[in-house]
Amino acid sequence: MTVTSTRAKPEGILPDRTKPAAPRKRRRNPLPYILLLPAVLIVLVDMGYPLLRQITMAFQHFSLEQQFGKPADFVGLDNFTRVLGDSAFWLTLGRSLAFCLVCAALTMAIGIGGALLLTKLSRPVSVFVQAAMLLAWAMPVLSSLQVFQWIFDSRSGVVDWTLAGLGMQGMAGYNWFSNPLTFFAVAAILVIWMSVPLVVFMVYASVTQIDESMLEASTLDGANGWKQFREITVPTIAPVLLLVTILEIIWDLRVFTQIFILQKNGGITEQTNVLGTYVYQVGLSGGDYGVASATALIMLLITLLLTWRYVTQFLKQGEV
C-alpha cells in the first residue's frame, strides 16, 4: 500500500518522466484488445470451429447417416489406420508431393528470373509487363481454366493444331486430359501461370530496395552478375524469398480447383487425384466424412513438416 502511494506521487508531479509510466498506461488501456477482438473472433469462428469439428470427426465414424442426424460413435484411430492402409492414399500423396515441388520450384525460378528481368527493362515496357501479369494474376481461376481447356481441346485446340502443323502426326486430335502425365503437364502450366505474377511482384519490390551503392561497389571489385545475385541479391531479399516459397508450397500442395475441373474433362479421376481432390472424393462424394477428416489432418501435418524449416528460418530472420 505504502509502496504504491509513494510511487504514485512522483508520477503525478513529474508527468514527463514517462519511462516507467508508459508501459503501465498501455497495460491499462483496453482499446488495443477491443480492436483485436473482432479479428480474433473471426479467426476463431472461421478457422477454429471447423478445425475443432474436423479433429473430432477424424476420430468418429461419420458417414451420410450421421450427416442426417444419427449420433456419431468415436472409433479411436480407426479412420487413420484406414487411410494409411489405403494404397490409393500413398499414390495420391506421392503424386501431390511431386506436383507441388515441381510447380513450386518452377514458379520460384520463373518468378525470380522475371523479377530480375523487370529491373533491366525500360519503364514503359516494365509497366506494360506488370499490367499484363496483374491481369493474369487477377483472372478468376474458372475463366482461365475454361480458356486452357479450349487451348488444349482435342478437336479444335490451338496446341494440337500447331503441333500437327509442325509435322507431329500423332498430335492431331490428341486428348491431353486422358493421360495422367499430359494431364498434370497442362495442370502445372495453368497453376504456374497463375502464381508466377505474385512471385514476380514480391521479388521485384524487394530487389528494387537493394542498395545501389553495394552493387556498384561489388562491380568495382570485379564481381560478375551471377556472383552479385548469389552474394548480394539473394541474402538481402532472403526473407521475401522464404515467405513466397512457403506460400507456394502450401498453395501447390492443397491445389484443388484446377485439378477438380480438369478431371471433369478427363475421365481418369483415380489416376489424377491429388490430396485435395482425394479428400473431396472420400468425404463429400464418398460420404465418409470421418476418413476424409483424418486424411485432411494428415495433409495438414505434411504441410507443416514440409514448411517447418522455412517457417522457423523465417521467424528467425524476422527477429533480426
Partner 1 sequence: MKELSRRGLLGLGGALGAAALLSACGEASGSASSDSLSTPAKLRVWFMKDSVSDKAQAWLKQEFENKFQGSTLTIEQQEWDGIVPKLQTALASPESTPDIIELGNTQAPTFCAVGALADLSGMKEELGGANLTKSLVELGSFENKMYAAPFYAGSRIVFYRKDMFQQLGLAIPKTIDELTAVATKIQAGNPEKNAHFSGMFLPGISSQSAFAWVFSNGGRLAVQKDGKWEGSLSSPESQKAIAQLQQLWRTGSTTGTITDSTIGSQPYTAFNTGEAGMFFGFNFHLKKIKKELLDAGNVGYFNFPSPKGDAVGNPFAGGSNVAISNNSKARGLAKEALKLIFSKPFQEFFATEGGWVPGNLNYAAALGQDELSKVTVEAVRSSVGTPAAKNWALVESAKVVDDFFVAMGALKDPVGLAKTADAKMTEILNSK
Applying CB under 8 A, the residues found at the interface with partner 1 are: 41, 44-45, 49, 63-65, 67-70, 154-155, 173, 175, 177-178, 264-270, 280-281, 284-288
Comparison of 204 and 289: residue with beta carbon closer to partner 1: 289
- Min separation Cβ 251 and partner 1, Å: 23
- Min separation Cβ 62 and partner 1, Å: 12
Comparison of 66 and 228: residue with beta carbon closer to partner 1: 66
Comparison of 12 and 69: residue with beta carbon closer to partner 1: 69
Grid cell for residue 82: 484406414
Grid cell for residue 171: 498430335
Comparison of 199 and 282: residue with beta carbon closer to partner 1: 282
How many C-beta neighbours within 10 Å does residue 272 have?
A: 22
Grid cell for residue 231: 552474394
**Cβ contacts of 90 within 8 Å, gap of 6 or more:** none
- Min separation Cβ 92 and partner 1, Å: 13
How many C-beta neighbours within 10 Å does residue 244 have?
A: 23
Grid cell for residue 252: 501447390
Owner of C-alpha cell 488444349: 152
Comparison of 11 and 65: residue with beta carbon closer to partner 1: 65
**Cβ contacts of 135 within 8 Å, gap of 6 or more:** none
At position 236, the amino acid (one-letter code) is T
- Min separation Cβ 142 and partner 1, Å: 14
- Min separation Cβ 285 and partner 1, Å: 3
- Min separation Cβ 264 and partner 1, Å: 6
CA distance 70 to 64: 9
Comparison of 61 and 104: residue with beta carbon closer to partner 1: 61
β-bridge mates for residue 63, sequence order: 288
CA distance 153 to 175: 7
Q: Which helix (H) or strand (E) holds 5?
A: helix 2-13
